[in-house]
Structure 1
């Protein structure tokens, strides 16, 4: 009975803690963001609708533990609980050796993982059948081991580089061999390849804007056909803006219009904030840049081991096609050629690494804080069917940017440069004039 009371008491304590957080309190952290990152390693909401169901769950688990000597159903719940704790303990042990320096790392090392091991051992003692005791521990540990092998040993097969486009150019810097597309003559416009997409995603805009401008569509590190010379490159906001600066310097572009979609919109925004004299205007298509959580499928990439495994498994053509289709409203535009243009570069090792490294390294609180002081005229376009960054963020950019023109495009998804090129291109051309 003593083990049951200890385990049940631990769940009652966790339930009380979740009820406390439901009041809006964030102790022992200073704010919700810090609390979330310390408790889970990722940023999620601690709103009452999120934490109160977890409090109820912990109370039910406490009840099941206390009843496990009398009820077969309760013993099944305890077995499931032990399996979950075994998996979390195994993950915690892996995280100890694969991440360091954050509050989550130290809490995982000193509190979470030891507590999971102790609670798992106590739960296993409550089970009667020896085979079940072994299964609830060995099964989850085996699964975590396989995931760790995928994350740190397996490498997806790199596909052959596609034939270069007639517009393709290359320029070498100390950092990377940059691939870019160039067309037209006139004042310079630099379009940054959308996050996890190649520069060719701007093909329609490249052709249209080239009538009045010299247009460059560039793959920054981790995107498309650009190749890093430094494998230790830091995929964070400073790293990406430094890379953009090196590209502009290599082409001797002193002042440009910068455009970006999704992640690359945030990179362009950050560069304009850091170097206002080099950016005359901004074109931001459903950009990152606000300090808000991403959709859960992207937030999961922030977790050590999990992020590496997901990024490698996602370098699969069928998964890429499924992900691309989720970005589009106009499904007829998702051709085999388009899917291949995203899948092939997505198999390169640096590009695979960039998926989880960028998700962990991009601190958008920096860009959000600087938005009221970002003076460049800015065009913000958003699709009303965006499944990656909520369209409500468009209004937020409009509120914070002093010189923003915001348009929400009906019947458009996140991949605006392709999904709604006929709507996007005239708006950009008019803005640049």
Structure 2
């Protein structure tokens, strides 16, 4: 009876804490974002509609624990609770050996508490095999996940044949792959995040009438291969890569463009080196200090991020992800899917997925937006499923020389999904 009361009391206290957070309070953190990072390791909402149902769940669990000696249904709930706690405890033990965003809380509070509560819940169960199963099953699952995350490597697919526009340039950092076409003043287009430089094919063809256009794969993208095994996939690393590429081709001042992550990288480079960027083209760019959609936020979790990045490096998963970026599904061809999938199997490109999600600090770029003086074209699709179209207005407010256009019926992959509308806008702006 004593252990039931203690465990039930813990859930009542947790319910009370969630109700407290529902009032808008964020103790023990200074704000909601810091609270989410400290408690969960990712950025999720602590709004009343989120935390009040969780408070109700804890009260339900408290009741089930307290009545577990009299009700088979309550014992089933306790068994599920024990399995969940065993899973969290096993994950916590693995996270002790990783660079977790909430390392000390996990080490000193969460993992010991989960182990203690799991033991207490298991003791309330009457069936011996069930006691073993609710612990052994989750531990086995976490063990498999750990092997996937840190041992398994997806099979690298064969490199595609180089296109007629493909070029390579060696630097101390990497062997950069890029596409080059045309003559005239230089325009550099950064491959969209997790996409190859060929995503800019339509824009490359049109801009090449008046400019020398380079579409480049940065480290972790497309066919570029790192030489430096210690390369840090963060904002400084990516902007340094842009600089090395420009230096290698002796490009002193360029029009710089990017889509999604690469828009943020280009923005950061322009802020750091305003003398080398005459104009900016930002297509649904990163760069605001806001949370990502959950499917990207989850990559920030150690072990889980590594495992997901590897498990999703298969063609069917890539096709599903690509289709979610497009409004015009007829443009999602087998050739397009292969162009995304094949480089997505390379070791460094897989690693970049979770490493970039964890390390890109967009607070730096957002703070510098009011002092970003280059003329900037910002384009956004109104049906973007990755970065909400509302962010376009925020860029327009903060960038002093921005032209913002929202394109109806377009998704996140603007360079392909709406190339017919993006290309003339790009061409006119660059000219």
Matches within 5 A, 1:61-100: 61-99=61-99
- In structure 2, the residue matched to 1:172 is 170
Using the alignment, how far apart are the partners of 1:368 and 1:5 within structure 2?
49
Matches within 5 A, 1:355-370: 355-370=353-368
Using the alignment, how far apart are the partners of 2:351 and 2:293 within structure 1?
19
Using the alignment, how far apart are the partners of 1:427 and 1:374 within structure 2?
21
Using the alignment, how far apart are the partners of 2:44 and 2:373 within structure 1?
31
- Give how far 1:428 is off: 0.5
- In structure 2, the residue matched to 1:430 is 428
2:159 is equivalent to residue 161 of structure 1: yes
Matches within 5 A, 1:48-197: 48-99=48-99, 102=101, 104-197=102-195
- In structure 2, the residue matched to 1:34 is 34
Matches within 5 A, 1:14-413: 14-99=14-99, 102=101, 104-413=102-411
Using the alignment, how far apart are the partners of 1:291 and 1:14 within structure 2?
30
Using the alignment, how far apart are the partners of 2:48 and 2:172 within structure 1?
50
Using the alignment, how far apart are the partners of 2:401 and 2:279 within structure 1?
10
- Give how far 1:25 is off: 1.5
- In structure 1, the residue matched to 2:11 is 11
Deviations 1:66-100 (Å, cap 9, x if unpaired)?
11111111111100000000000000001111225
Using the alignment, how far apart are the partners of 2:72 and 2:163 within structure 1?
66
- Give how far 1:400 is off: 1.1
Q: Name whichever of 18-27 and 153-162 sits farther off.
A: 18-27
Using the alignment, how far apart are the partners of 2:363 and 2:21 within structure 1?
23
Structure 1, unaligned stretches of length 5 or more? none
- Give how far 1:22 is off: 1.4
Give the TM-score, by structure 2 length. 0.99
Q: Secondary structure at the match of 1:112?
A: helix
Using the alignment, how far apart are the partners of 1:372 and 1:5 within structure 2?
56
Using the alignment, how far apart are the partners of 2:181 and 2:175 within structure 1?
19
Using the alignment, how far apart are the partners of 2:228 and 2:15 within structure 1?
48
- Give how far 1:432 is off: 1.2
Deviations 1:267-291 (Å, cap 9, x if unpaired)?
0011111111111111000001111
Using the alignment, how far apart are the partners of 1:414 and 1:362 within structure 2?
19
Using the alignment, how far apart are the partners of 1:13 and 1:237 within structure 2?
41
Using the alignment, how far apart are the partners of 2:257 and 2:388 within structure 1?
20
Give the TM-score, by structure 1 length. 0.99
Using the alignment, how far apart are the partners of 1:194 and 1:107 within structure 2?
36
Using the alignment, how far apart are the partners of 1:94 and 1:156 within structure 2?
22
Q: Which runs of structure 1 show a deviation greater than 3 angstroms over 4 or more consecutive aligned residues?
A: none
Q: Secondary structure at the match of 2:96?
A: helix
- Give how far 1:37 is off: 0.9
- Give how far 1:43 is off: 1.1
Q: Secondary structure at the match of 1:97?
A: coil
Using the alignment, how far apart are the partners of 2:59 and 2:375 within structure 1?
54
Q: Name whichever of 378-387 and 14-23 sits farther off.
A: 14-23
Deviations 1:156-175 (Å, cap 9, x if unpaired)?
00001000011011111110
Query: How many aligned residue pairs are there?
Result: 431
